[in-house]
Structure 1
């Protein structure tokens, strides 16, 4: 009962993307999209139907998000193919999402057209911790290299988040739920269309007592709570028939308790994030030539505290991004479209880790900055009916690492037999993060990471799309991948001492390049509908290995399970009741590069129910991890056990 429109490089299938995902919505998606025109993807930087995209894509619309009942975006994405996560405890703790075994910072996250990344974080990537479902109306996931349109660091893929836009003169919505561990979530939004003005504002408050982030199996007992408040808003004003201006913004503030140094402690962190966007849209040549000029700004502030220290603040960091961009899209003809643009991004960060002793002066902030200017272009051509080919090029000029040119190409062929064939190739280039270069663990001698990958697949629609099956093969190679190297004492490695310190001051570790890593695998999906019964599932086999010469050659990259499977079933009754169940199985993985510490496989089973009181108001309830499975996605960190939630939602 989950409308996940999922198009893999070879397959359009619905997948269970929530705690109680099911396939009824998926099957509806197949029926609605029989002409290939009903499902439009915007993560391609210009609206395209699924049948025009060579890459693997998953799309979750508002109906899917509502039926999922999940609070966080991470949980929504986790049931889709090719995605795994590692989390340092319960809600609010550090969360890394990996697409096809790539590093978490190798995927670009976009919200309302703004790239989200924190220059003060380890790899300059995005932490999904505080991204709640909130007023999100749509999520799109493009798997595989997407660097031509979204920047060189989009090696693993792109997660595109779109907040709700008003469709009526006046509309509103709300969600209220409560459950295990004193968890409460309340959300509301209102918006409308008034003449040339379209506007919407929304807010959410989430609190929970949580679990011990230090795993119970290792002595963790006290609960680490989490709270998050967020607001979002958007407005668009039509200045003329072909000119519009728009502003968007989101702000979130979170506080999470966590455990440090492998034991229960009173540590807690505060995180504040702001995302702003202002743009001007101009359509020319009868709408065939579309132009957008925009400015985007992000600011992420993180602070950690321990009230048991003489100096409570133990860490502080701030990262900012300022981005100007122009994008053009021109329909040369009905069969030829060009997308092109210019971007300039300036990022800076500062961080420090104060000593616990008041007798030790506060250290100066470690600071760093970078600038990158890019130009790109992509051409899409339909030489014959049913066949779409595209190719693109991007040039990045980094103020520290110079220029880099990237290429991409792909094609999709739609056959009258209901068969769809896809293939694509893409490249990526990622400069080291500012933290990796300039922090107390930094290494200014780091080289950029480079990657290239390809995929090919097939999907088949049967019985008027009542059954859809497909599979995708992908392959990716990354060179100069950056990892963290810990230092032991005593050490003769000169990099295990703070550069420039006299006398030499030892440090815990530093970042360095490894020669090579490789990932390949298969994603398979299927969805079927039989009246009110809906079934779907997916399986991902992901081999992500260290291929660098040395002791770790051939080892699994840390925290990446090689096997992941999801399945769901649901049944909708005529009187408004819907019941669903979902299963997720994750195979074993390893917590470290040496593969000395194993993380066992686990199976989670969830149940979901929803009852319509009217066309606009519904009651819902879900039970997650009903067998109370104990598992870890990161060694020594706990995970949520059996949980039960219930609530009410309205859409007006």
Structure 2
């Protein structure tokens, strides 16, 4: 009994130490310790992501408390994520601090179906209203997706897999890191022949049959994502960083019979094929002083899609933040 108690008591400080030193980017808009955030937080670590090896965000959050989602089919089909039952447009989503909510879509939410997670190491979710920090778009919460930094030295990594429905996925990365900074270049691709995004409804004689048994067409999908990330440590106190991400995807949909309101297997047309082109940029300069750290950065998010005649949109943000440490506290 004494031996068990000794082991148990020694394990408590270890766990407390690990929690105390975890940092997140989302809580107050700058890097903060997890213990200092008062809102409910869901932290998805690199270990969990590697264990599950998810294709997209819905696979990693589907069993998390407070989350639910709706998907219209296979890869590339529209995915809507709900947090605490609130509308998807009330969830503000970032990648490395870059806003990715696509306001050209009816839902005004991030297009989660086009996010490949191969280069992601941590996902931070702040649940509940965050309007005081992030504005009205964050009244349900905030999701911040953080991408990996390279390991020391020069590295080349390749990865690939194949699956059903002629699915192929691969990645290729080049990186270099030393004491003065790093550069990371990545190419990620997913291509699948897919299956029909629509099935017969219950009032149809063909209900219960597979799409290929009744001659429905496939709805293929392809996604090419290019990333670049660099950091330059100018001095001990000055740092310059840049992030770029390009998503080029083509997805085939099915449609709805506007007379009956029922889904139908539709041939390819400008209304059922969507070419998505999204680009995200960020440049950040930070400087440390004795009791504070200054952040200056700009982000740019560009959205373009071809469906229904085509839509384009763009965010531009210019931000100044100052994080002040109070070494003696207020009292």
The answer as to 2:278 corresponding to 1:284 is no
Distance in 2, matches of 1:164 and 1:295, equals 20
Alignment of 1:109-148 (within 5 A): 109-148=93-132
Question: C-alpha displacement at 1:42, in angstroms?
Answer: 1.9
Corresponding residue number in structure 2 for 1:101: 85
The question of whether the paired residues in 1 share the 8 Å contact of 2:73 and 2:198 is answered with yes
The one of 23, 27, 30 equivalent to 1:40 is 23
Could you tell me whether the CA contact under 8 Å between 1:164 and 1:200 is conserved in 2?
Answer: no
Contact 2:90 2:136 in 1 (8 A): no
Matches within 5 A, 1:179-328: 179-217=163-201, 220=211, 221-261=216-256, 262-266=263-267, 267-285=272-290, 288-304=291-307, 314-328=308-322
> What CA distance in whole angstroms lies between the structure 1 residues aligned with 2:50 and 2:158?
11
Q: Offset at 1:178?
A: 1.5
TM-fit CA distance, 1:31: 8.9
Cα separation, 1, equivalents of 2:12 and 2:121: 20
Aligned positions of 1:475-486 closer than 5 A:
none
SS in 2 for 1:181: coil
CA separation in 2, counterparts of 1:50 and 1:110? 18
Separation in 1 of the partners of 2:326 and 2:34? 21
Relative to its length, the structure with more strand (as a share) is 1
**Aligned residue in 1 for 2:3:** none
CA distance in 1, matches of 2:15, 2:22: 6
Distance in 1 (CA, whole Å) between partners of 2:130 and 2:264 is 41
| CA-based RMSD | 2.1
1:173-215 superposed Cα distances (whole Å, 9 cap, x missing partner): 4432211211111123232213423111112110112221112
Change (3 A) 1:32 1:105: farther
SS at match of 2:75: coil
Contact 1:226 1:254 in 2 (8 A): yes
Post-superposition offset of 1:134: 2.4
Alpha-carbon distance between aligned partners in 2 of 1:137 and 1:117, rounded to the nearest angstrom: 20
Q: Higher RCO, 1 or 2 (CA under 8 Å, sep at least 6)?
A: 1
**1:153 counterpart SS class:** helix
Q: Which residue of 2 aligns with 1:568?
A: none
Describe how 1:376-525 pairs up with structure 2 within 5 A. Answer: none
Whether the 8 Å CA contact 2:152–2:178 is kept in 1: the answer is no
Q: Deviations over 1:48-94 (max 9, x none)?
A: 33332222211122222111121112211222111111122211011
What TM-score results when the alignment is normalised by the length of structure 1? 0.44
1:3-55 superposed Cα distances (whole Å, 9 cap, x missing partner): xxxxxxxxxxxxxxxxxxxxxxxxxx999633232432221223333332222
Change (3 A) 1:282 1:71: same
What is the CA distance between 1:104 and its match in structure 2?
Answer: 0.3
Superposition pairs of residues 501-650 of structure 1, within 5 angstroms: none
The secondary structure found in structure 2 opposite 1:34 is: helix
- Structure 1 counterpart of 2:4: none
How many angstroms apart in 1 are the aligned matches of 2:123 and 2:173?
Answer: 18
In structure 2, runs of 5+ residues without a counterpart are 1-10, 257-262
Evaluate the alpha carbon distance shift between residue 264 and residue 123 of structure 1 in structure 2; reply closer, same or farther with a 3 A threshold: closer
Would you say the 8 A contact 1:94–1:127 is kept in 2? yes
CA–CA separation in structure 2 for the residues paired with 1:64 and 1:174: 21
Q: TM-score, normalised by structure 2?
A: 0.84
The question of whether the paired residues in 2 share the 8 Å contact of 1:33 and 1:39 is answered with: no
Distance 1:207 1:31, change over 3 A: farther
| Uncovered stretches (5+) of structure 1, i.e. residues with no partner | 1-28, 305-313, 337-382, 384-652
Provide closer, same or farther for how the CA distance between residues 258 and 239 of structure 1 changes in structure 2, counting only shifts above 3 A. Answer: same
Deviation per residue, 1:498-540 (Å, 9 max, x gap): xxxxxxxxxxxxxxxxxxxxxxxxxxxxxxxxxxxxxxxxxxx
Counterparts of 1:38 and 1:333 in 2: how far apart (Å)?
17
Q: CA deviation at 1:132?
A: 1.1
Give 3-state SS (helix, strand or coil) of 1:332's partner.
coil
Q: Which residue of 2 aligns with 1:330?
A: 324
- How far did 1:157 drift? 0.7
1:264-300 deviation per Cα after TM superposition (whole angstroms, max 9, x unaligned): 1122111011000011111112xx2111111110111
SS of 1:211's equivalent in the other structure is coil
d(CA) in 1 for partners of 2:24, 2:199: 40
Distance (whole Å) between structure 2 residues aligned to residue 129 and residue 30 of structure 1: 40
Q: How far apart, in 1, do the equivalents of 2:159 and 2:122 lie? A: 17
Change (3 A) 1:165 1:31: farther
* CA gap 1:184/1:33 in 2 versus in 1, 3 angstroms: farther
